[in-house]
Structure formats: structure tokens, C-alpha cells
């Protein structure tokens, strides 16, 4: 049932602005950073860390926007009647999150591949700065992108529930709030508490990866993610299509 719902969702977004945005944004962001880094006086490692921190901070805003757009599409298509005709509402609602997760993973991989190639092969930077990680620079870039994506998984479930319950504005506002918290806790203020503040993870987990401290948050991350998935499953099973009008 989930596979059928996924195929339906992917067909809906074949030529949608959501899919286009997931292709355009990575290209623009990567090229802007590479252009800036071509004359920036920062060290190579500072440039790399700052690039991924910026993505981590901005990621929740994009999650809020895209989950809100997905819900808005269902609202405009018949006030959720198409969604509720599936035999399994849980599968139908999970497919929406899974599709966005697939899109975001692809976007992050595209971003990191463009940035990694341009930074290392065009600017000739980053090789020595990343030698401490024991593998090639490109693998380090890919792992960094995966860390951001994994850190954002719980946010997709929360934003989707908020968008379905309260509408587009609340979901986007939550994404903005999460980004602000993520940026704030990148300062010394978050040195101790960030591990127990999931709102900070998209920015802070990438910082922990580059500092070889990622394992310190693995247990609580899995607990929060599992709880988020279970709460979403319960919510999906009881969902009746209500959404706040805006």
C-alpha cells in the first residue's frame, strides 16, 4: 500500500514547483558559496564547516515551506478528499513525508557534489583540511550532507502534522523558529544543551561531525525520531482532513 501511495505522490510532483525548487536551490547555493570562497581569507576547514552550518540552519525553513506546500496542494485539490480515499490513511500520509525526504536527500547530495567538486577541483582547496577524517574529501562532503539530512528527519514529521492541523502559516513559522534556535545554539550558549534540543540538530549535528563528537547525540536522536514516527502514525490513523483555513 505504501509503495502505491509513493508512486502516486511522485507522479503528482513530476513537474511541480516543489521538485524544481529541490533542483534549483542546490545549484544556486553551491555556486554562491564557491564564488565567495574564491576570495575569502578563511581557512579551508572553516569554509567547509561554515558552508554546512549555513545549510543546516536554513534546512528547517525549507522543510516548513515544502511540507506546507504539499498540504496546500491537497487542500486545493478537493479539501483532502483525494487523500482520504486511500484505504490506509497512515500509508497515504507517510508517503508524503517519504517523498519529501527523498527530494531533500537528492537536493543535499546535489548541493554537496557541486560544492565538493568546485571547491576541491576548481579552487583546489580542502584536501589537507579534511585529511584527518581518514577518507577522501568527497566522501567527507557526502557524509556531512547525510548528517544534515538525518538530523532533519524528525522535523519533517512535526512540520507535516502542524501543516495538516493548523495550516501553512504555522508550519512555515515553526520552520523559521527552528532555524533561529539552530543558529542560536551554534554559539557558546548551546555547547551543553544542544544534544537535548532537537530544534538545534540540523545545525549542531554537522558541527559535532566535524569535531568528532557525533556519537554523543546518537541515542537521544534515535529516541526522538522513533517517538516522532510513532506520534505521526497515531495522528495519521485518526486524521479526518481538517485543516485551519488561512
At 244 the pLDDT is: 44
Closest by CA position to 12, among listed 90, 68, 96, 86:
96
At 222 the pLDDT is: 96
For 56-81, b/e burial (b = at least 16 CB within 10 A) is bbbbbbbbbbbbbbbbbbbbeeeebe
Residue 153 phi/psi, 5° resolution?
-55, -50
At 165 the pLDDT is: 85
Q: What is the sign, positive or negative, of the torsion defined by CA atoms of 61, 67, 73, 79? A: negative
The whole-angstrom separation of Cα 171 and Cα 96 is 15
Which three-class secondary structure state does DSSP give residue 106? Answer: helix
Closest by CA position to 132, among listed 203, 42, 206, 210:
210
> Is residue 159 exposed (0-12), middle (13-18) or buried (19+ Cβ within 10 Å)?
buried
At 91 the pLDDT is: 81
The whole-angstrom separation of Cα 226 and Cα 61 is 22
HEC assignment per residue over 194-244: HHHCHHHHHHHHHHHHHCCCHHHHHHHHHHHHHHHHHHHHHHHHHCCCCCC
Give the residues of the chain that fall short of pLDDT 70: 1-2, 5-6, 74-87, 126-134, 241-246
The whole-angstrom separation of Cα 78 and Cα 59 is 30
Domain boundaries, the chain: 2-238
At 2 the pLDDT is: 67
- In tens, the pLDDT along 54-106 reads 999 999 999 999 998 887 776 666 566 666 666 677 888 888 899 999 999 99
Amino acid at each position: 500500500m505504501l509503495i502505491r501511495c509513493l508512486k502516486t505522490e511522485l507522479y503528482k510532483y513530476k513537474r511541480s514547483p516543489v521538485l524544481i525548487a529541490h533542483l534549483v536551490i542546490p545549484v544556486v547555493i553551491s555556486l554562491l558559496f564557491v564564488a565567495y570562497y574564491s576570495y575569502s581569507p578563511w581557512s579551508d576547514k572553516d569554509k567547509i564547516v561554515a558552508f554546512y552550518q549555513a545549510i543546516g540552519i536554513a534546512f528547517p525553513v525549507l522543510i516548513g515551506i515544502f511540507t506546507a506546500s504539499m498540504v496546500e496542494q491537497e487542500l486545493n485539490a478537493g479539501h483532502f478528499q483525494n487523500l482520504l480515499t486511500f484505504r490506509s490513511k497512515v500509508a497515504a500520509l507517510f508517503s508524503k513525508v517519504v517523498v519529501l525526504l527523498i527530494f531533500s536527500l537528492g537536493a543535499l547530495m546535489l548541493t554537496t557534489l557541486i560544492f565538493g567538486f568546485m571547491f576541491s577541483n576548481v579552487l583546489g582547496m580542502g584536501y589537507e583540511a579534511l585529511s584527518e577524517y581518514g577518507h577522501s574529501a568527497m566522501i567527507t562532503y557526502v557524509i556531512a550532507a547525510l548528517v544534515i539530512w538525518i538530523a532533519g528527519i524528525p522535523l519533517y514529521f512535526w512540520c507535516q502534522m502542524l501543516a495538516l492541523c493548523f495550516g501553512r502559516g504555522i508550519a512555515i513559522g515553526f520552520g523559521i523558529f527552528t532555524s533561529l534556535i539552530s543558529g542560536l545554539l551554534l554559539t557558546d550558549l548551546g555547547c551543553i544543551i544542544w544534544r537535548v534540543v532537537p530544534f538545534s540538530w540540523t545545525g549542531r549535528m554537522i558541527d559535532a561531525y566535524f569535531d568528532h563528537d557525533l556519537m554523543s547525540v546518537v541515542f537521544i536522536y534515535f529516541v526522538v525520531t522513533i517517538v516522532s514516527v510513532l506520534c505521526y502514525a497515531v495522528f495519521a490513523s485518526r486524521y479526518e482532513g481538517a485543516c485551519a483555513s488561512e
